[in-house]
A and B are shown apart, each in its own frame.
Chain A
Amino acid sequence: MTEPGRLAVRKTYKLYIGGAFPRSESGRSYAVTSSKGDFLANAAKASRKDARDAVVAARKAFPGWSGATAYNRGQILYRIAEMLEGRRAQFAAEVADADGVSVKRAGELVDAAVDRLVWYAGWSDKIGAVRGAANPVAGPYFNLSTPEPTGVVAVVAPPMGPLLGLVSVVAPVIVTGNTCVVVCSERAPLPAITLAEVLATSDLPGGVVNLLTGRAAELAPWLASHMDVNAIDLTGCDEELAVACEKDAAGNLKRVLRPPAGKIDWLADPGVDRMTAFLETKTVWHPIGV
């Protein structure tokens, strides 16, 4: 990419916490290589403290984000898609490096990620109608069930699919009003941090999505046992790590989304399961009378 006689200005990849881009408080980093083994960059290696800071940021962002109108959240998800589309070439290059696919194929994966965001954007103001209910109780009561976000969700993003996979696990969590702390693909974290730049410029309030790069096996157990995390998505964990995290998650009865049994096809229709896994149902009763 470098032109003759000009040295490229390389990007410094950092964490994304509370809408800011800090380095890891631990001062650690790790070398990220392409699928061919070439050095790409040094990514921040997040620590337990970074994970805790990210949970604090996510908790702080929760009332505002969950209290925003569904219309507003949908618009912001669509805005993320717009910003992602605008940086298509950069993402295609990063995905090609990470996955060892052609730039053309990488472009298709970026397109799919954009489309996925648009798809989820449209769910924000429909999930309530699909998952809620007016319950015909046998008595003079108004009785209404509505879905609500669970709270702060920890997400272990899949190691494969550094962009499409990541978008496919983050969008369903936030579209319903949850906030999240994401452990990005350890193998290929660079598209995630570039996605953070998209998130930071897309009207998404700081703290709604927090992205950590580093070792999943090191970070996930802290998130699984964190008493202020309400749910955990273990999609990106290998079996051993998933079992350990699920056990830890019992500590405060976190909602757990287990890794699927087989390989995931991120290009397939995602269905609503990833949204409903992180919803509670609230039922309100009120007497009817004059």
Chain B
Amino acid sequence: MSDIFEYAPAPESRDVVDIRPSYGLFVNGEWIDSLGDERHKTLNPATEEALAEFSYATPADVDRAVDAARKAYDSVWGRMPGRERAKYLFRIARIVQERARELAVLESLDNGKPIRESRDVDLPLVAAHFFYYAGWADKLRHAGLGEDPRPLGVAAQIIPWNFPLLMLAWKIAPALACGNTVVLKPAETTPLTALAFAEICRQADLPPGVVNIVTGAGETGQALAGHEGVDKVAFTGSTEVGRLIARSVAGTRKKLTLELGGKAANIVFDDAALDQAVEGIVNGIFFNQGHVCCAGSRLLVQESVEDELLAALKRRLATLRLGDPLDKNTDIGAVNSAAQLDRIRELSDAGEAEGAQRWSPPCALPDKGFWFPPTLFTGVAQSHRIAREEIFGPVLSVLTFRTPAEAVEKANNTPYGLSAGVWTEKGSRILWMADRLRAGVVWANTFNKFDPTSPFGGYKESGYGREGGRHGLEAYLDV
């Protein structure tokens, strides 16, 4: 993108990955064929090339998976001593590390995210989550959740396409550590790393039925969340679907946790270290193409530094490199699907139509694949759709404020409450802001940081329950 100098391409090799032409479902430790005949292809969003064919599991397939999970729970996993469960999880963590390069390439191929991110963020965190929760398996009564915490049983887990393997780890690691068995449904556009994880379970000799993977779309998810045989439903995805799941679970005794959308404010005060703030803003909204529920999609900048900050931000955006996700120099990869690209376009067009000013750095988009340039909107009002609705793409809306009170008011003016960012060199102001922001995670002078020891989850319509840390155990225990 830069006119000053070009980088030589540094592509990661695809040879480290072996993708089968076609995948079945992983049930009771075996690959089985779906009872239905609906099959779809998963695409490489950067090239639109078909990567593999996979099944859309039917309700009858979901029955089989839940039965397998129940049997494994009753006969093996639910009664296994925690110290033994721990060793299985440690094994899985090690295998993930051993196969990290392969999994990172596979994730970038199927999702479109830059290899730099799948290699340096996703995969290390996946391994870290299994290591972290492995250690809890034999220490549950020390978790402060009661003297005799018990597993719930069979957990139905439905995960999104933005961090396919990381979300799998967030769901499966604590569930297994607590003694539950799982049936997991990956997103229909990104099933491949979950299917690769099934092989990892086999390499770890995990007892059959402890982890079951059923691929499919919304209907498979509905069959799973609504299945009478599951004791727990965990969902990460859109607030809209979260609402449907909450309704469907009502009146059952299933425990439910939801990690839903966000419209985070990234608040920059006039005394902030502006260069650091620019990096944080870029990381906040352009990381993973903005496909992040906690993305800092609303920049709130103090009016007195607006011009200076925007100039620096634009300079920085002009250096971002968009293109081949497997190129190690790439900062911005492909949008995950044509449908998502349409949504990003629709909302961006609405931004212009409603009177905000759109800006993107000069940026050539590849001919094939699903691409959207990093985009800034200035002159955004709180009533604009781009300031209210989750875009889930590389689109930043810039608003301004004058006083800290106004910043709080605007930041909280959303039904969401997942995350927020605060940039100021004044410690007392950070704490004052952190107190008042209605959000589950507040990043001060940093953004988009994750760690298995740190609880994550939202207020208000961003969902309920926490994942990560000691708090993340509660979702999988009867306490």
Residues of A within 8 A of B (CB): 67, 130-131, 133, 135-139, 141, 143, 145, 150, 230, 242-243, 246-247, 249-253, 255-256, 258, 261, 273, 280-287
Q: Is there a chain A Cβ closer than 8 Å to B414's Cβ?
A: no
Choose from B246, B443, B455, B470 the contact partner of A253 (Cβ within 8 Å). Answer: B246
CB distance from B479 to the nearest CB of A (A): 8
- Look across to chain A and name the residue whose beta carbon is closest to the beta carbon of B239: A253
B105 contacts chain A at the CB level, 8 A cutoff: no
A281–B440 touching, CB < 8 Å: yes
Is B453 an interface residue, CB under 8 A from the partner? yes
Bound CA span A287–B423, Å: 11
Q: How far is the CB of B170 from chain A (nearest CB, A)?
A: 15
Question: Would you call A138 and B451 a contact (CB within 8 A)?
Answer: yes
B251 interfacial contact with A, CB 8 Å: yes
Report whether A133 and B469 are in contact in the complex, using a CB–CB cutoff of 8 Å: yes
Question: Which residue among A143, A252, A253 has the maximum number of chain B CB atoms within 10 Å of its CB?
Answer: A253
Pairwise interchain contact B440-A280, C-beta atoms closer than 8 A: yes
Residues of B within 8 A of A251 (CB): 243
**Chain B residue with Cβ nearest A66:** B435
Using A137-B454, A282-B441, A286-B445 as known contacts, say yes or no to A253 and B242 having CB atoms under 8 A apart.
yes
**A283 and B441 in contact (CB under 8 A), knowing A250-B250, A251-B243?**
yes
Which residues on the B side are within 8 Å of A230 (C-beta)?
A: 460
Selected contact of B455 from candidates A246, A252, A255, A281, CB within 8 Å:
A281
Determine if A250 and B449 form an interchain contact, defined as CB atoms under 8 angstroms apart.
no
Choose from B260, B453, B466 the contact partner of A136 (Cβ within 8 Å): B453
Give A281 to B439 CA distance when docked, in angstroms. Answer: 9
A247 touches B250 (CB 8 A): yes
Residue of A nearest to B256 (CB): A256
Determine the chain A residues whose CB is within 8 A of the CB of B439 once the complex forms: 282
Question: Are A286's CB and B250's CB within 8 A?
Answer: no
Tell me whether B442 and A282 are in contact (CB under 8 A).
yes
CB-CB under 8 A from B441, the residues of chain A are: 282-285
Contact B128 A141 (CB under 8 A): no
Which of A243, A253, A286 touches B258 (beta carbons < 8 Å)?
A253
For the complex, what is the distance from the CA of A283 to the CA of B128, rounded to whole Å? 19
Number of chain B residues close to chain A: CB under 8 A? 42
Shortest 10 CB-CB contacts between residues of A and residues of B: A243-B251, A250-B246, A246-B250, A137-B451, A250-B247, A247-B250, A135-B453, A135-B454, A286-B444, A284-B442
| A284 with B444: CB separation less than 8 A | yes
CB-contacts of B447-479 with A (<8 A): 449, 451, 453-457, 459-461, 463-464, 466, 469-471, 479
- A104→B239 CA distance, assembly (Å): 53
The answer to whether B251 touches A280, judged by C-beta atoms less than 8 angstroms apart, is no
A246 touches B251 (CB 8 A): yes
From residue A235, how far is it (CB to closest CB) to chain B in Å?
Answer: 15
- Decide if the interface of chain A is mainly helix, strand, loop or mixed: mixed
CB proximity of B41 to chain A, nearest CB, Å: 34
Do residues B442 and A283 form an inter-chain contact, with CB atoms below 8 A?
Answer: yes
| Interchain residue pairs with CB less than 8 A apart (25) | A130-B144, A133-B469, A133-B470, A133-B471, A138-B128, A138-B453, A230-B460, A242-B251, A247-B247, A249-B250, A250-B246, A250-B250, A252-B460, A255-B464, A258-B253, A273-B479, A280-B440, A283-B440, A283-B442, A283-B455, A285-B443, A285-B444, A286-B430, A286-B445, A287-B445
CB <8 Å contact, A135 and B455: yes
Q: Using A135-B469, A253-B239, A253-B463 as known contacts, say yes or no to A283 and B454 having CB atoms under 8 A apart.
A: yes
Residues in chain B near residue A139, CB distance under 8 A: 449, 451
CB <8 Å contact, A285 and B469: no
Q: State whether the Cβ of B340 lies closer than 8 Å to any Cβ in chain A.
A: no
Among A67, A242, A281, max chain B CB count under 10 A is at: A281
Q: List the B side residues contacting A150 at CB < 8 Å.
A: 459
A252, B461: Cβ atoms closer than 8 Å: yes
CB nearest neighbor in B for A137: B451
A284 touches B440 (CB 8 A): no
Rounded to whole Å, the gap between the CB of A270 and the closest CB of chain B is: 13
Cα–Cα distance between A287 and B446 once the two chains are bound (Å): 7
Give the complex CA separation of A284 and B441 in angstroms.
6
Query: Which residue, of A135, A137, A285, A287, has the highest number of chain B Cβ atoms within 10 A?
Result: A285
Is B434 part of the contact surface with A, judged by Cβ < 8 Å? yes
Cross-chain contact B461 with A253 (CB below 8 angstroms): yes
